Chains A and B, each alone.
Chain A
Amino acid sequence: MLIVVCIKQVPDTTQVQIDPVTNTLVRDGIPFIVNPYDTHALEEALRLKDRFGCRVAAISMGPPNAEGTLKKALALGVDHAILLSDRVFGGADTLATSNVLAAAITRLHSDVDEVGLVLCGKQTIDGDTAQVGPGIASRLDYRQLTLVDKIVNIDFQTKIIRVSRKLEGRHEIVEAPLPAMLTVVRELNRPRYPKVQMRLAAADALVEVWNNSTLQLDEQQIGLKGSPTWVSKIFSPERDKGEILGDGNADPEGAASLLVEKLMAKDMLPI
């Protein structure tokens, strides 16, 4: 059984600023990181590997420098790391991206092992669309289980998975047959820290690169040509001023409990 994790290299958005004149992201000198939600998907795959001995493949579509992201996945313990990189993949929206990723998963399915599970982060922190995971599931005709915060049970014999989905103010337990595509939230797990020995091995390891001559996709379905979405404008939203509640000087304890109350109402404090 093979578990495929889709990961994306994203700019460290806490360090990104928007150019007020051109309305574009100022990306110069901004370091890249692995999309934080994807690190939880990766961790879950590695935990399943530790428990059941399945194999894990990490795939990422991106420019050649996205190799670093896959090396991080190798350092954490994935068995295969494949970079999907080709000029014709460039400029892709979520639809075109899911076409390429789905094709890569199909190829892994026939070349390496039967794919049982595809894991994605719930969304990326740069695009924030949350569409690529479900897109992949649609292309592959896999069941899709989004916003997973716990794998309750997985049975590779009967090929049934049961997960908990984190929805607003409630949880939902759902069951689906494998193969399935899961998008995961941060609460799912705590990602591991790479061991030095693995980092050194990963630094020397070769990341396999698949381009379109490997995947043989119709150029009308990938890259800019296959992308019906176009961005008309990017801007920083005007932030309305919030209101001041409570008086921290006069009644610090009252103000603190009001804050806790508000945070809990917004589901921002773990209970």
Chain B
Amino acid sequence: MTPNTSIFAPLLFISLALFVMGCWKRFGLIALGRPENRFDNAGKRLGEMFLYAFGQKRVISKPFGFNHFIIFWSFLILTIANTEFILNGLFPHSIKLIKLPFELYLPLAFMIDIATLLALTAVIVASLRRLFAPPYPEARTLDAFFILGLIAILMLASFTLNATELAVAINNSKADSAVLSEAAGSVMPVASFISGLLPLNHLELIHFIAWWAHALALLIFICYLPNSKHMHILTAIPNCFFRRLGKPNTQNLEEFVPGATFGVDRADNYSWKDLLDSFACTECGRCQNVCPASITGKPLNPRAVIHDIKVNLLENGSSLKEGKTPAVPLIGESGEGSISEESIWSCTTCGACMEACPVFIEHMPKLIKLRRHLVESESKFPEELLNLFENMEGRSNPWGIAPSERTKWCSQLDVKPFEKGKTEYLYYVGCAGSFDSRNKHVSVAMTQLLDKAGVSWGILGKDEKCCGDSIRRLGNEYVFDRMARENVTMFIELGVKKIITQCPHCFSTLKNDYLQFGLDLEVLHHTEMLNSLIQEGKLVVDKKTEEMGIALFHDSCYLGRHNDVYDAPRTLLEAATGKAPVEMDRKGSDAFCCGAGGGRMWMEEHIGERINLTRVNEALEKNPDTICVACPYCMTMFEDGLKDIKADGVKVRDVAEVMAEALLR
């Protein structure tokens, strides 16, 4: 019953060496990334890490997540047993858990026995799932079954091993530990059950086979780990620690000095955290199952993007280290390890992938860094964007309309300019609210509501400039940087402190992106503003509106997912109509994008189904009379979609319009 140290020790040494070499190689590759500070706020980071990595909060939120939770915690418990196993293999009889005090050993033995059973059950469930209902078809990889099989072997061997040891001890009257073993047997129900089944005359042989099966499975696991997607066992926990605190709703600043590189076209232009992300991904596929581009048949697959970054890094590792030109292009059509331009431009920046990722991989900023390279260093982008870029730069609005026409929407209204020191709120109308004929109605409704509530507000009029949202998400950071700085300077000069926007894109950009330029504003989306006016009693709904019929609400990505504003629009709709709005199946943080974010508003959609039609059809399943939105882009996408399928009977209304209907008519 003695493990053969002279064979085990060298094998262990080789496996550990391979493990260390694998880790060294991959962590060395991560270190090629650019610096990024993710060490601030360590206390909060630790807390988040415990909640999301050890507590598996996001993992368990989806079906089969609990299965992973069981594997994770069983593994943590079994680390104790495996450590004992390895030490015992090196120093036979010297280190045994059974030598621990009784009170400590018995519960430990019980936990190990149960954890082994749970892990075995969980890997069987996982294998069956992968066979019969995989999260996505390509998930049936040899790699996945190999690791599941290996874990199953480990568990079975571990049971057999414990069972033979129990059987030997109990049947050996001379053994000092017979009493102890009997007690151990009583707390290890599975192992003792198996021990009852074992043929007593072959115990030595069975033990020998089980010991080596366990040893080899464990050693293979150790070598294999850092060289496969299962490296996430090592990287997912730190990835949760280093996650972006707060929502990943902005992109990093760039420094515009001659000689700098802009955006990313090779893996080592990414930050180390971007590269760590690629090794933390275990390809669960949750991101691709919520991605509007993937779902509607676009070439973009967020899981594949992360995978390609990892493959690219592994393929090009040595040439990157030597400063040579990498052989596999990061942006290209050549297959694994390369990300196609089509997929880079397909992203709507809706953030669903990042919301779904259990380990907080940040897909969207990585795609935008690739866009930056294409736009800023290569001037290569879909041709419809040329006009947009020039319009934004020349006239600070997407349509290239003369800035002097920014106030046309309110030429018949009594709208006052924002006055320094006098006006409390700046109503930042935004390009859509100023120029888009449909959205001008929303602006008019807002002015009436603000006046009714007696709010001190004003507009910038002809001096208002575009916030730059689309430009930034499209990767034209150079132009965005200039637009943002101009706006920030203007806001500071005018003493603007509080802003109301009706566009979630203006809202998020002014609130989050401009913070990077040192401007900390109190930015309210109009639904938040109207909601607080209701709460404060400044707006009172005496008469509910019947006009809307069955009202359904669609969440805007930049309001909901990117900024956690879910309740304000719903509360308003309930106040105005007397009923909570009807919800779609994908709602709140799971809401499906309208298709216009990330600059997609200004681009053609040539491939696959149209995203807006997918969402419109989803809405129509609930038979609404009115689809309520809180974003000008969503408004356009829904109205266009409804026209496309000739569902003209269904209206689209902004929440402010619904409020105006209830309060002013």
Footprint of B on A, CB under 8 Å?
Answer: 12, 14-15, 17, 31, 33, 190-197, 199-201, 204
Residues of A contacting B404 in the complex (Cβ-Cβ under 8 angstroms): 15, 17
Minimum CB–CB distance for A140 against chain B, Å: 32
**Is B402 in contact with chain A by the CB < 8 A criterion?**
yes
Contact A197 B394 (CB under 8 A): no
Q: Name 22 interchain pairs, CB-CB below 8 A, sorted by A.
A: A12-B394, A12-B395, A12-B402, A14-B400, A15-B402, A15-B403, A190-B386, A191-B386, A192-B379, A193-B386, A193-B390, A195-B376, A195-B378, A195-B379, A196-B262, A196-B376, A196-B377, A197-B258, A197-B262, A199-B478, A200-B256, A200-B257
Minimum CB–CB distance for B54 against chain A, Å: 44
Complex Cα–Cα for A192 and B402 (A): 23
Report the nearest B residue to A15, measured CB to CB: B402
Contact A197 B377 (CB under 8 A): yes
Apart from A14-B402, A194-B379, what 11 extra A-B contacts exist at CB < 8 Å? A12-B394, A14-B400, A15-B395, A190-B383, A193-B386, A195-B376, A195-B378, A195-B379, A196-B376, A197-B258, A200-B258
Report the nearest B residue to A16, measured CB to CB: B402
Complex Cα–Cα for A200 and B378 (A): 14
Give chain B interface residues in 347-364, CB to chain A under 8 Å: none
Report the nearest B residue to A196, measured CB to CB: B376
**Is B389 in contact with chain A by the CB < 8 A criterion?**
yes
Give chain B interface residues in 363-414, CB to chain A under 8 Å: 375-379, 381, 383, 386, 389-390, 394-395, 400, 402-404
The 6 closest A-B pairs by CB, nearest first: A196-B376, A15-B402, A193-B379, A196-B478, A200-B258, A14-B402
Give chain B interface residues in 400-436, CB to chain A under 8 Å: 400, 402-404
Complex partner residue of A193 from B258, B389, B394, CB under 8 angstroms: B389
Complex Cα–Cα for A196 and B257 (A): 10
Minimum CB–CB distance for A238 against chain B, Å: 22
Complex Cα–Cα for A14 and B381 (A): 26
Complex Cα–Cα for A208 and B258 (A): 21
Residues of A contacting B386 in the complex (Cβ-Cβ under 8 angstroms): 190-191, 193
Footprint of A on B, CB under 8 Å?
Answer: 256-258, 262, 375-379, 381, 383, 386, 389-390, 394-395, 400, 402-404, 478
Complex Cα–Cα for A204 and B258 (A): 9
Complex Cα–Cα for A15 and B404 (A): 7
Report the nearest A residue to B401, measured CB to CB: A14
Residues of A contacting B395 in the complex (Cβ-Cβ under 8 angstroms): 12, 15, 31
Complex Cα–Cα for A71 and B478 (A): 16
Minimum CB–CB distance for B564 against chain A, Å: 34
Residues of B contacting A12 in the complex (Cβ-Cβ under 8 angstroms): 394-395, 402
Contact A31 B394 (CB under 8 A): yes
Residues of A contacting B379 in the complex (Cβ-Cβ under 8 angstroms): 192-195
Residues of B contacting A204 in the complex (Cβ-Cβ under 8 angstroms): 258
Report the nearest A residue to B377, measured CB to CB: A195
Complex Cα–Cα for A190 and B383 (A): 9
Complex Cα–Cα for A191 and B381 (A): 13
Contact A201 B258 (CB under 8 A): yes
Complex Cα–Cα for A194 and B402 (A): 23
Residues of A contacting B381 in the complex (Cβ-Cβ under 8 angstroms): 193
Minimum CB–CB distance for A107 against chain B, Å: 30
Complex partner residue of B256 from A14, A17, A191, A196, CB under 8 angstroms: A196
Residues of A contacting B400 in the complex (Cβ-Cβ under 8 angstroms): 14
Minimum CB–CB distance for B239 against chain A, Å: 31
Complex Cα–Cα for A238 and B256 (A): 49
Complex Cα–Cα for A101 and B258 (A): 33
Complex Cα–Cα for A15 and B391 (A): 13
Complex Cα–Cα for A204 and B478 (A): 16
Contact A33 B257 (CB under 8 A): no
Report the nearest B residue to A76, measured CB to CB: B379
Residues of B contacting A201 in the complex (Cβ-Cβ under 8 angstroms): 258
Complex Cα–Cα for A201 and B257 (A): 9
Residues of B contacting A190 in the complex (Cβ-Cβ under 8 angstroms): 383, 386
Complex Cα–Cα for A65 and B375 (A): 28
Residues of B contacting A197 in the complex (Cβ-Cβ under 8 angstroms): 258, 262, 376-377
Minimum CB–CB distance for A72 against chain B, Å: 10
Complex Cα–Cα for A12 and B19 (A): 65
Residues of B contacting A31 in the complex (Cβ-Cβ under 8 angstroms): 394-395
Complex Cα–Cα for A79 and B262 (A): 23
Complex Cα–Cα for A197 and B377 (A): 7
Residues of B contacting A191 in the complex (Cβ-Cβ under 8 angstroms): 386
Complex Cα–Cα for A37 and B505 (A): 34
Complex Cα–Cα for A200 and B390 (A): 18
Minimum CB–CB distance for A189 against chain B, Å: 12
Complex Cα–Cα for A15 and B405 (A): 9
Minimum CB–CB distance for A256 against chain B, Å: 14
Minimum CB–CB distance for B602 against chain A, Å: 14
Complex Cα–Cα for A196 and B476 (A): 9
Residues of B contacting A192 in the complex (Cβ-Cβ under 8 angstroms): 379
Complex Cα–Cα for A192 and B389 (A): 11
Residues of A contacting B383 in the complex (Cβ-Cβ under 8 angstroms): 190
Minimum CB–CB distance for A252 against chain B, Å: 12
Minimum CB–CB distance for A71 against chain B, Å: 14
Report the nearest B residue to A33, measured CB to CB: B394
Complex Cα–Cα for A74 and B425 (A): 43
Complex Cα–Cα for A195 and B257 (A): 13
Report the nearest B residue to A198, measured CB to CB: B379
Minimum CB–CB distance for B260 against chain A, Å: 8
Highest count of chain B CB atoms <10 Å: which of A14, A17, A192, A196: A196
Report the nearest B residue to A195, measured CB to CB: B379
Minimum CB–CB distance for B387 against chain A, Å: 10
Residues of A contacting B258 in the complex (Cβ-Cβ under 8 angstroms): 197, 200-201, 204
Complex Cα–Cα for A204 and B257 (A): 11
Report the nearest B residue to A201, measured CB to CB: B258
Residues of B contacting A14 in the complex (Cβ-Cβ under 8 angstroms): 400, 402
Complex Cα–Cα for A260 and B379 (A): 34
Highest count of chain A CB atoms <10 Å: which of B256, B257, B400: B256
Report the nearest B residue to A191, measured CB to CB: B386
Residues of A contacting B377 in the complex (Cβ-Cβ under 8 angstroms): 195-197
Complex Cα–Cα for A16 and B465 (A): 19
Minimum CB–CB distance for B400 against chain A, Å: 8
Minimum CB–CB distance for A39 against chain B, Å: 10
